[in-house]
Amino acid sequence: MQPLIERLCNGPVLRLDGAFGSVAIQRGWPKKDMPPVTINATDPKQIMGLHQEYIRAGANAVLTTTFGAVFDNLHPYLPEEITSPADVVVFNRNTALRAREAAKQIGVDNTTYVIGSMAPLTQEAAYKDMVAAYLPQAQGLFEAGVDGVVVETAFDPAMFAAAVEAWNQADPNGTVPLGVTASFTTHNEKNNGWFTMYGLSPQGLGWFALGAQAAGRPLAWIGLNCGQGYEGVGYIVRQLNRLSPHVPIWVKPNAGPPVLQGETTTYPDATLTQAYPCMQDALREGADAFGLCCGSNPALMGELYARADVTEGMSDKQL
């Protein structure tokens, strides 16, 4: 059993890191009108420093800052660095290696999991073209030797299926654990259900996991990230657990809903008082990994990590 899967199945609960993009924007790192992912090329030392902040705060899993690191997203902002899919492979490989190096520099590389991040594409396309768009990213992350990879913020089943297929092509022997987490943003009050913007429910994600298992390439975990903040997290985890009781559950919601103040996006609920009950609900319903997404920061994550629920909680999942 791979070390990451063993940790998710046998506990203690995996402590995921916090946000990258919202922290980078708040600290003014991206150059004007450039997305946060470009910082990996323009100021990589800042990225390594942020990884180390989360690790020092108590995280034992960090995501690579490769959210959206595909050709169509990178080339317009980095036209000299990213000229071909081969450059995307190098970009993702180097970014993932820096996460590993960040842990190594502070002596915790043997106890810190590096998880590759793959995100939704910005445009829909034919299925084969989406697979082709994801493949260079998948190859770069695989070459870097990540401990796992997460297709995160999933909302379109066809798109995240394409990401999964691209990863399976990059890792044909299934040596690296792969998980999918969806962004459930729509609440149907009539039946108390939660859905992605494309209508995918927690049950639908569970069915996808069952299908992957039947096809011989089971998902190492499923879960939620981003979404509407803390709202509905316990319910979603419960639904995922009910349909896929043997699949570990990953939880990384936004630190509350974003609030636009002028031209600045803030997260007023990014406090321990608001985040801790969400973490309690998630763990009570069976979450095996917990962190926060947009709006969080190393200080808030450190406060959460210090709670006994995360440091002593044990998973009930067995493969």
DSSP 8-state assignment for residue 61: E
Sign of CA dihedral 120, 122, 124, 129: negative
Q: Is there a contact between 293 and 254 (Cβ–Cβ < 8 Å)?
A: yes
Beta strands 113-118; 61-63: pairing state: parallel
Burial (CB count <10 Å: 0-12, 13-18, 19+), residue 240: buried
Q: Look at residue 107 and give its three-state secondary structure.
A: coil
Question: Got the DSSP string for 1-47?
Answer: --HHHHHHHH-S-EEB---SHHHHHHTT-SPTT--GGGHHHH-HHHH
Strands, DSSP E only, in 202-288?
Answer: 221-226, 249-253, 259-261, 264-266
Max Cα separation, the chain?
A: 52
What are the φ and ψ backbone dihedral angles of 153, each rounded to 5 degrees? 55, 30
Q: Are strands 113-118 and 148-154 parallel, antiparallel or unpaired?
A: parallel
As given in the structure block, the two tokens for residue 209 are 């996991």
Q: Was 278 annotated as part of a binding site?
A: no
Rounded Cα distance between 228 and 79, Å, is: 34
Enclosing H/E stretch for 306: none
Closest CA to 137 of 102, 167, 101: 167
Question: Which residue's entry shows tokens 């913007």?
Answer: 197
Annotated binding site for Zn(2+): 226, 293-294
Annotated binding site: 226, 293-294
